[in-house]
Amino acid sequence: MSRMIKIFDTTLRDGEQAPGCSMNLQEKVEVAKRLELLGVDVMEAGFPAASPGDLAAVKAVSAVVRNSAVAGLCRALDKDIDAGWEALSGAVRPRIHTFIATSAIHMEHKLKMSPDQVMERAVAAVKYAKKVCEDVEFSAEDASRSDPAFLCRIFEAVINAGATVVNIPDTVGYAMPDEFGRLVRAVIEGTPNIHRALVSVHCHNDLGLGVANTLAAAAAGAGQLECTINGLGERAGNASLEEIVMGLRTRRDLLDLDCGIDTTQIYNTSRLVSQVTGVKVQVNKAVVGENAFAHEAGIHQHGMMANRETYEIMTPESIGLPTNRMVLGKHSGRHAFEDRLKDLGFALDAKEVDEAFAEFKTLADKKKTVSDRDIEALVRGAAVAVPETYRLDRWVVNSGSSLTATSTIRLIRKDGAVLEKVAIGDGPIDAAFKAIDAVIGREVELEDFELGSVTAGEDAQGEAIVKIMRDGRRWNGRGLSTDIIEATIKAYVAAINAMEWELAATESPAATESPAATEGAAHA
């Protein structure tokens, strides 16, 4: 029987740390629900001591997740662990994940501590965490550049202190697969009490080897693999969950390893994470990229028609991407629509289905057929919308080659006030954004703006993603319409609403010092 491997997903923590990948609280909760449906053993929901917003998000995820363990990352400091437990105490299966760097370069230049001081701090943190939480994971940051003998010593000590999981991270993506496999094996063989803890690995992708190193570690005896959806994460990202899982499944003959992931949920989970973060999946991305199951070359097409296995080592159905799809349009009924929602992984209550079905009918009147991606876009947009401080009431844009672009925007504030402003700009989009800024009375910096189509064809829905920044903080907004100008305006208003909602919650005395101000945010 294959050895079972645990999957630890850190999309909500390490994945969200990637530039431009921030999620609001409701989006984090929705992603957490989908990760639980996917079947991850552990999900790391955030870094509670980083900010009041992170603490609130971990607390919210802890309140809704029932089957997966929920972890919170904490530096090896009492105040971090206190914040971690405050956020995790409501979880069914809480885990405190504490870390400290163990490589010579980190200990000398970042921590300015001796190996003995690092050992003392690590043991004290695990003991402190163990007082409140039974499940404690310890990570040796930058383990792949650490002295293996020192790793064995510190792991032995933290296991004696109560650690249930010890993590060997390749924090900067430095290791080669054979090298990393040998390191994992050396730690397992050189730590006398290693049988009392689960050995985990966390690999970054700076050299494009995150998945290869992770699978090498699993073959060497690691029992938990840390990863993210779509490989999101710091710098070049983390090892990709979908690639790891399908690697285990596709090459079970060689590795003799398996995990509890429901692979038919992979594609929908990938799409959701891409939508909420605004980070598109590259078309040639393994497993979930648009071209992963596409065949254009004639010789490939001929082979596929003869036998799919000639060019497909896994099927699209195995990741939840059916080759045959039900076509929905304006004549489709509610029952067919509800069935398609279930197939796409959405679990909506009756009211939410009513609202989504009404939106679907409106769109179906504009389009001949409504695709799965159209439905995903409609439902996800409604499911994770933050409370509306401002609602778009109407807009007018005038522009042309011989005209100065002008825009009139009318928003309705949540208190019922009707606010309307006119602005000029370098183009219709610039004019519309400036009019919105005038309405809200805040200075907002536009960091990024992307416009694409949800599906192909002249009646495709336009999907706009807007990223704004204020005082170093970032918010995303997303808009959807068959009119690209309207989609863009909706996205900007959505980003403004996300900003207003978060600022209302955090512009208070509850704000705390960010951990980045002391030891930095280059976590395990």
Q: How many residues does this entry show for the chain?
A: 524
What 3-state DSSP class applies to 343?
Answer: helix
Distance, in Å, from the CA atom of 284 to the CA atom of 291, rounded to the nearest integer, reads 5
pLDDT for 450 equals: 86
Strands 473-481 and 462-470: antiparallel
Q: Which H, E and C letters describe 88-113, residue by residue?
A: HCCCCCEEEEEEEECCHHHHHHHHCC
pLDDT for 482 equals: 82
Residues 6+ apart with CB under 8 A from 108: none
Per-residue pLDDT band for 368 (boundaries 50, 70, 90) equals low
Q: Is the pLDDT assigned to residue 295 strictly greater than 60?
A: no
Of 275, 283, 272, nearest to 476 (Cα)?
Answer: 275
Assess contact for 408 and 421: CB atoms under 8 A.
Answer: yes
Q: Is the pLDDT assigned to residue 278 strictly greater than 90?
A: no
Q: Is the dihedral of CA 405, 420, 493, 369 positive or negative?
A: negative
Helix-strand-coil split of the chain, %, nearest 5: 45, 20, 30
Per-residue pLDDT band for 516 (boundaries 50, 70, 90) equals very low
Per-residue pLDDT band for 471 (boundaries 50, 70, 90) equals confident
Max avg pLDDT among 244-248, 317-321, 331-335: 244-248
Distance, in Å, from the CA atom of 98 to the CA atom of 118, rounded to the nearest integer, reads 13
| Fold observed for domain 390-506 | Double Stranded RNA Binding Domain (3.30.160)
Max avg pLDDT among 54-63, 383-392, 503-512: 54-63
Distance, in Å, from the CA atom of 390 to the CA atom of 394, rounded to the nearest integer, reads 12
- Could you give the angle at the alpha carbon of 392 between the alpha carbons of 337 and 54, nearest 5°? 80
- Global pTM? 0.74
The CATH number assigned to the domain with range 3-277 reads 3.20.20.70
Task: Tell me the mean pLDDT in the region 44-49.
Answer: 97
Chain centroid offset of residue 408 CA? 36
Q: For the segment 135-192, what is each residue's pLDDT rounded down to a tens digit?
A: 999 999 999 999 999 999 999 999 999 999 999 999 999 999 999 999 999 999 999 9
Distance, in Å, from the CA atom of 347 to the CA atom of 341, rounded to the nearest integer, reads 8
Task: Tell me the mean pLDDT in the region 390-394.
Answer: 94
What Cα–Cα distance (Å) separates residue 337 from each residue in 317, 332, 385, 403, 459? 20, 7, 21, 45, 20
Structure token digits, residue 282? 């590259």
pLDDT for 384 equals: 52
